Amino acid sequence: MEMENHMGSQRRRQENEEALISERTGSLGCIGWLIVILSGLFVFLLFPVTIWFCFKTVQEYERAVIFRLGRITDRKPKGPGIFFILPCTDSLVKVDLRTVSFDIPPQEILTKDSVTVSVDGVVYFRVSDPIASVANVTNADFSTRLLAQTTLRNVLGTKNLAEVLSDREGIAHSMQSNLDEATDNWGIKVERVEIKDVKLPFQLQRAMAAEAEAAREARAKVCLMQHTNVLTYSQSLQTAIFTDFMASSLLTGDCSRR
């Protein structure tokens, strides 16, 4: 099942890239190629000066998406290392591939059994497709943060209070799956989701504390009754043994006198 989901996500990502990134051959048009040629001549004529503007570098954890006259030049981002661009026609956007974490602000959520709780969490994600993260969404980081908040509310809205308190791992896994599927078209990979804290209303905390105290008292009474029964049984057994012993002693004395 997970393999099918992975293959489906890859297929959808490829279709989105093909829809956004057309074939490069002839995509700039006659005027575009003319501007590129003029830009190349300009770089060649002013070579000692333009050399500092033609070579760019990106770090090991970065990739560069290059736009030439507003079009993405290649299906793969550039980097890491050094690469060549035309300063007059090319522009680049650097994308950080490192894992990013953020806190989900506390959300007031109404559970399935009509209990209001405040829940917060933390999400870890990274950019898996730099081109999609630039071309498919305005701000991938901000969009992922907003989507995490709504996903938390949607997932917890289908759970009752007992499930929210006891099944945090299952809730986190469900959130991760939903977020990963929703952000796949943005080139985002959600690596981990954790539920940090679940805050209950004060009245509900007092009611649960009273219920727990009553349960403890009931267990204590049961244990006391069992202990009392055992003690009573032990005393009765000792009395019966002593009575049997005295009866056997008297019988032995009578026999000896005869």
pTM for this predicted structure: 0.69
DSSP label of 183: T
Domain ranges of the chain: 2-96, 100-200, 213-241
Q: Dump pLDDT digits (tens) for 128-153.
A: 999 999 999 989 999 999 999 999 99
Q: What is the mean pLDDT of residues 187-195?
A: 93
Residue 254 confidence (pLDDT) above 60: no
Q: Dump pLDDT digits (tens) for 78-134.
A: 889 998 888 888 889 999 999 999 999 998 888 888 888 889 999 999 999 999 999
CB atoms < 10 A from the CB of 219, how many? 10
Q: Dump pLDDT digits (tens) for 119-131.
A: 999 999 999 999 9
CA-closest candidate to residue 96, choices 80, 110, 117, 85: 80
CB burial of 84-93 (b: ≥16 within 10 Å; e: otherwise) equals ebbbebbebb
Domain 100-200 in CATH 3.30.479.30? The answer is yes
